[in-house]
Chain A
Amino acid sequence: MAVKSMVPECIARKFRVNGIVQGVGFRPFVYGLANRYRLKGEIANTSSGVSLHVEGFREDIESFGRDLIQSCPPLARITDLVTSDEPLKNFRKFTIAKSQHQKTVSTLISPDVSICADCFKELFDPTDRRYRYPFINCTNCGPRYTIIDHIPYDRPNTSMRKFKMCRSCQSEYDDPGNRRFHAQPNACAVCGPQVTLYDRAGKKMDAPNPVEHAAALIKEGYLLAVKGLGGFHIAADAENDEAVTRLRQRKLREEKPLALMSTDLSDIAVYAHVDAEEENLLTSPQRPIVLLRKRIPNPLSQQVSPRNTYFGVMLPYTPLHYQILNCGFTALVMTSGNRSEEPIAIDNDDAFARLADIADYFLTHDREIYLRSDDSIVKRTAGDTRFMRRSRGFVPAPVFLKCRVPPVLACGAEQKNTVCLTKGNQAFLSQHIGDLENLAAYDFFKLTIVHMQRILDIHPEILVCDLHPDYLSTRYVQEQEKGQKLQVQHHHAHVVSCMSENGLEGEVIGLAFDGTGYGTDGSIWGGEILIAGPAGFKRAASLSTVSLPAGASAIKEPWKMAVSYLHAAFGEALWNLDLPLFKAIDENRIVRIIEMITKKINSPATSSLGRLFDGVAAIAGIRTHVFFEGQAAMELEMAASEKTPVFYDYEWKSEEIYQVMVQPIIRAVVRDVQEGLPLAEISARFHLTLIRMFTDLCGAIRADSGLNRVALSGGVFQNAILLSGLEQALSHKGFDVYSHRQVPANDGGISLGQAVIAAAVLGG
């Protein structure tokens, strides 16, 4: 019998596949499929999808084509498939070609992740080829956000591109069974980044083991600038009082607490109390700074966090940190490597230039940080984890919104600035940018906007900023040529920020308590109860206003606020009072402040609750001056005794809106101070008064409005007594109470509220 057509024919065919076929495991899938049908050829990403060329028997190619459509990976969506016959090129195997320029990809970029247990084991295993290599990482850990320049998250788009993998690393990277399969920052001592030690003049030191050498220098009391994951830290031995004092002097940081890093939980237990939840936070892969109650006594320098009952503590999150700490420290001070108020340094030259006055030596490396990211700060309050600062480890994980919104860029406020970009139902908050009050911070702000737009592939149509005309973020939005623009009232943004992360729609009773925000009437708000929703708000209640004498200087000098409140409560009779304030401050200065208040010179009106805390703290004798915003209020909170049954009389006037009178509270505080009541009791009474008063007031507003949901937002809610007290009291009265868990209650969360408001107002 003649054998006709029994010899299978070998052909070549091209497939052009469009749709969602990148970043979804499509190429490895095709690779497996091609091998299954013993096809040769190659697959490559193109700007609109993938293109593949296969050669093999006609039957096999046809089966391959069918499977390609029917069994593609779950995330892949083929929208268009074009095939054409091609001349044979005689490929010898099937390969995945290098990516061509890619435009559409999955835009979820992972946050930076602390070293994992497997890599940790390797780091200290003398038989491992990466023994003591400070840049160990794998698919489960290592840098991400801070080293990405472009999407997709492929090595050539990261700062690892300049390190060509050695053969051992490359074979791990290529092996689907390996922990380092496609781990973009994969490296080892042969091919990866290296650590170098420099003196303060920027001269390379002769140090065969730079990490141990650096640790020894810290032991001797020197201050070291250490390049980490999201920027430089300044490291000092936390037990060395002289070193920590020097760090404070050089960094011009008088009393603000300094962050600590310890090797493990047992070291932390030496100086701080840690409960199970705090332990989970400390050891989580995000490795935030956790505020922990101090153990008294403890072996650390008093200068680490003077007059504060808390330490800010984190565990190491990079292999380099572990190696330094392994040289025998109970704790290192690891404070941001910046000059006062400026952004954290990330670049080696930048660090030499800006930190030379602070650090004695520099331990740096040659893996570039593309986007700086400070350490995140959290605290367990009222049964939940609360962000003080949301940054490294969490950014850019999205906050999920209740509905889809158009692309918005929200530029945040002035203090603790963050920006927010939206895409679909996701809101991406930036890392902590800082206070936009100097050019360096403003540059960082602009850089972050550009960078995030690029790596998240978001092209905002709506731009939003604060109502305050003088904020740099406001000016930035005004200067942009394209896009619809909106200015949002500060406290409205606060309330909606809280609503958004809790998935609330409609209207709520919003308690927005903070230091300063520009009001719609041009006065300075800060103790507001709003009836608010994403589409708008009205003011329901507010603290009665007092003067903010000498404007912003009253924020740094709470005694001026105290005089303002005393004048409001007692008039000229304030001179008869017996308060510590009058001994601490020169009489002439008080006279001058009163003059400013009565003549309304440079004394805007404020309804700020933050300032009321400051004023009460100064009246109670806690402090007349602060070194950082909110210090007096914080110390007043920390002074409070556990509980008191006593609270002060309070009253409000029902006018156009409810006016909460501050005078009776001030008079009661003054009475207690004059009677010599302990500070702990006065503070507890003051807190209880606020809790009862605002709970009652919410009751009145509920009766008027029919609203039963209360959202708590604003920096004052970092106060644990007020937050947990109000949550309890309001819940007890049948309110549904919502507070912040995903973004900070302070101005760091403002950009989220701005974005959602803009989407509601302009997006419809």
Chain B
Amino acid sequence: MTTAVPTYHALKVDAQKCIGCTHCMTSCPTEAIRIRNGLAVIEQKRCVDCGRCMRKCPAKAIFVEQDDLDKIKSFKYRVVLFPSVMIGQFPENYSEDQIYAALLKIGFTHVYEVEQPIGFLKESIRESCKKDKDHRPHISTFCPSIVRLIRIRYPSLAENLIHCKAPHDLGAHFALEQLMAQGANRDEIGLFYVTPCIAKMSAVKSPLGEKESIVNGIINMNELYNKVRKNISTKEAPDTSDQRATLTRDGILWSLTRGEARHFGERSMAIDGIHNVVKFLERLENEEVPDIDFLELRACDQSCAGGNLLSGNRFLTSERLERRAKRYQPAIKFKNHPIQEMAATLKPKLALDAIKPNPVFILDQDREKALEKMSKMQRIICFLPGIDCGACGAPNCQALAEDMVNQKAKMSDCVFLQQTWQEENKISTSKALKNMEKKWGKDRFKADCNKRGRRNEGF
């Protein structure tokens, strides 16, 4: 177990690699990024860890911190806990047994897929929805980015979030219970969660409402994939199917789009892609949406198959998982399975306290001051060109105005305004250039034939 950091964010900017372009800034769904001194700066309070910026960065300057794989050596029982999408990344000529064998070869002693036994989570969600009939649609807490997004940007919908944890909690408790039943001590067990995305990384490091994270380490799926590819062989591998004894069709499909939605409510919807989710939540907040029972919302396109720490093509991953799922029994077939004895132990561990909103877009805690700032913003907007070019280091004119009233930017940050001011002799040319350098770095405007932006993209 590791102590949880209250608001851990996995995304970091590498100052050596960042070229101070605007791609990350304009792709951020919560306007959390600004450019200062030629570098991207992520405002932690606004970041929801969706990883859009990392995907967009042409210089690969946005990265995630991760735990060292060597950390596993200090445990007697070394558990690798991975979501089913991991299997979907491999070409079909590698069997499940071969992938499992490679994981054992790397140094793990036990292999667990987080989605087993998913039936418990399914029942917990169903029970939680039944208990709370007042807040519909019920919104899944599966995707940590979405949970953060709702907390900061759609506080009125926080009540709709289901009081249930995610599959990685289920998988972790399941593995622990099984190993302890076999006689292992808790401190001998090292749980290592393989994450398909940045958001889950943050969610595991700072779990909602808990002081400790249940896992001992987090492994970037990309990294592990490379390690497995190095250690995998196409020779016949020992039969490890007993380790997947409680894996179900429902579990394998769980992290794909409609994986949850198909199970709950008469009317359910599944939306993937954070920008799509934002558009939908705006409507939901205005009650412009019909009567829906259950909402599955995922930040990545194609849900976890499109996770930002996966290396495979999201559509191929999805397809392989769908085919894999067909070989497994549906969860309902496990109704009388001996695994049910664990229900009483595991299900209570999946309960989550109500998730509190955490609105971060408020201009000022003092209403009067907020109102003053808002009026000021309205006046500032009149002078800005409305081009949303990003040359001021803010994603759009509205955001710049907001920064200004919060004393984080000046009128002269707008390159167009500055140009007009020069024309009117209100500001000297050298002062104007200095202003620009403050935003974009000192050497930014020197001739350099190797300057990198996102050129030739799309050809």
Q: Do A and B bind each other?
A: no
Q: Which positions in B face A, CB cutoff 8 Å?
A: none
